[in-house]
Amino acid sequence: MQVVTRFAPTISGELHIGGLYNALLNYLYAKRNGGLFKLRLDGMDLNPPHDVWQQSIQKDLELFGLHPDQVIKASDRIEVYKGIAGELSKHPRSYYCDCTVQDMLKRARDGSAFYHLYRPEKYPPYCKISGIAVRGPDGDANVAVDCKVTATHEATGHPAVHLTARGGSGNYYWEPMDVGSINHPIIPEITVDLGVEKDISCVDIKWKDRPVLEYEILVLKESKWSTVVFVKKCGRYFVDYKQGQPFPPFTSDRNNFATIKTQFVKVRILECPVPVDKPYFYDYHCRGLGKTLDLNHQDAVLRLRADESISCYDAAYWYNRLPNLVLTSPLDDAVLGVTHCIRGSDIEPWLALELQVARALDTPIRKQLIHGLVIDKRGYKYSKWIESTPVREYLNSGITPDKVLTYLAKKAGLIETKDVLTLSDLIEQFDGTISNNNVVIDETVLLEELRG
């Protein structure tokens, strides 16, 4: 059987080095085995930027010599997906769900057990604080105005330094990490230095969007940190960051306690809320209820009850009036004749869902090979979410596609050489091994070495 691989990027941004790595692995594996390399462009909402990206991704692949033997576009197949979703809805394990996010959150707060698939590199725990006020026993005056603030962890563009700024403008906020992090800080802490010891009896925290689930407030007294307030909120899950799903009004916590004299106040974040992605956050409430099918309802989700010999997760294969990737991926790969899926470890949680759908549709089961992610020196995954540099921008100042691909293959441990290899040479030297180790690349160093 001929080996067929595919590169399947979403069309939500330019081709970056993480995507180029996945495309290169798929290309090398196919060609080393005398097979075919194909391109499946995911994404169905072709507004102007998406239309540009759909074209540019293929052009960039070809710029690096990674010419696909066949191209398929999800945007051309919406009616096909809709027809198949309608047929799949008749499967004995399919059911219709029209629960809103608010419905699910209410059940979560009431104690329902939920299943939640989570991609940490894409959706880090959300914790954004827009201000901290420290108040004394004699009134509401903020004794921390313009005091020094530091944090153990903070995103590049949102440091803690402004949290006590005079006026408390909403333009400033702190968060513990940049979007795209795959290594979450466990216990981030914010420390306010009042300058001198003062009597305090209240710490007021203003959240930018949603409060965290657990935190504690500590003061330094006699060279020891002691907790004065421990806060634990009910409910584990909060709504997603997406527009149209705001957090219910709950903008600040005023924490009062017995007066204590201290110079240093610390806020320690113990647990952040998990963002809700509706199709992958569910308590199976609608199983067996026999709700009427309506693919065009804004809250419609079609779910496939889990075959628990594969996984305990139900697969949501239709939502927001469109098919989900767990449906389109096995369908399109069947059309392309894909035999081997070589994908990043961030996609691994979805494989069981795709397998559920593939079994129900009786489509071929592809062999899955998982590789590590391309991350920067901070541990962040190169991705559209952190606005990674488009790879075509590397090709200047004498940098050639062969230099870029050779550098990437060497960093990933695919080859050992001091020379710049052609794509044909890379195919020849590649032994077919796919590593699940992350590839650490510093773009500054990359460019220096490529230009050297």
User: Which letter does DSSP use for residue 313 in this model?
Assistant: P
Which value, in Å, is the radius of gyration of the alpha carbons in the chain? 25
Looking at the fold, whether 149 and 258 belong to one and the same domain comes out as yes
Q: What is the per-residue pLDDT for 237?
A: 60
CA 322, CA 79: separation in Å to the nearest integer?
10
Beta carbons of 389 and 158 less than 8 angstroms apart: no
Q: What is the per-residue pLDDT for 243?
A: 39
Element (H, E) at 270: strand 252-271
Decide: helix, strand or coil at residue 331. helix
What CATH number does the domain containing 382 carry? 3.40.50.620
432 domain residue, yes or no: yes
Q: What is the per-residue pLDDT for 209?
A: 73
Decide: helix, strand or coil at residue 31. helix
Looking at the fold, whether 324 and 432 belong to one and the same domain comes out as yes
366 domain residue, yes or no: yes
195 domain residue, yes or no: yes
Looking at the fold, whether 325 and 409 belong to one and the same domain comes out as yes
CA 264, CA 261: separation in Å to the nearest integer?
9
Give 111-151 pLDDT, tens digit per residue. Answer: 788 887 776 666 666 688 989 999 999 877 899 999 999 99
Looking at the fold, whether 360 and 262 belong to one and the same domain comes out as no
Beta carbons of 202 and 256 less than 8 angstroms apart: yes
What CATH number does the domain containing 178 carry? 2.60.120.260
Give 392-449 pLDDT, tens digit per residue. Answer: 999 987 899 999 999 999 999 999 888 999 999 999 999 999 999 999 999 888 888 8
Beta carbons of 17 and 382 less than 8 angstroms apart: yes
Q: What is the per-residue pLDDT for 208?
A: 82
CA 264, CA 193: separation in Å to the nearest integer?
5
281 domain residue, yes or no: no
410 domain residue, yes or no: yes
Which of these three, 207, 240, 271, is where a domain ends?
271
Looking at the fold, whether 328 and 433 belong to one and the same domain comes out as yes
238 domain residue, yes or no: yes
Ranges of the chain whose pLDDT falls below 70 = 45-50, 119-126, 167-170, 180-185, 234-250, 274-275
Which of these three, 238, 271, 304, is where a domain ends?
271
Q: What is the per-residue pLDDT for 436?
A: 92
356 domain residue, yes or no: yes
Looking at the fold, whether 69 and 142 belong to one and the same domain comes out as no
Q: Which residue has the tokens 């090709």?
A: 395
Range of the domain at 196: 129-271
Looking at the fold, whether 24 and 158 belong to one and the same domain comes out as no
Decide: helix, strand or coil at residue 306. coil
211 domain residue, yes or no: yes
Looking at the fold, whether 330 and 440 belong to one and the same domain comes out as yes
The total number of structural domains in the chain stands at 2
Looking at the fold, whether 243 and 350 belong to one and the same domain comes out as no
Q: What is the per-residue pLDDT for 163?
A: 92
Looking at the fold, whether 359 and 225 belong to one and the same domain comes out as no
Looking at the fold, whether 348 and 247 belong to one and the same domain comes out as no
Looking at the fold, whether 181 and 253 belong to one and the same domain comes out as yes
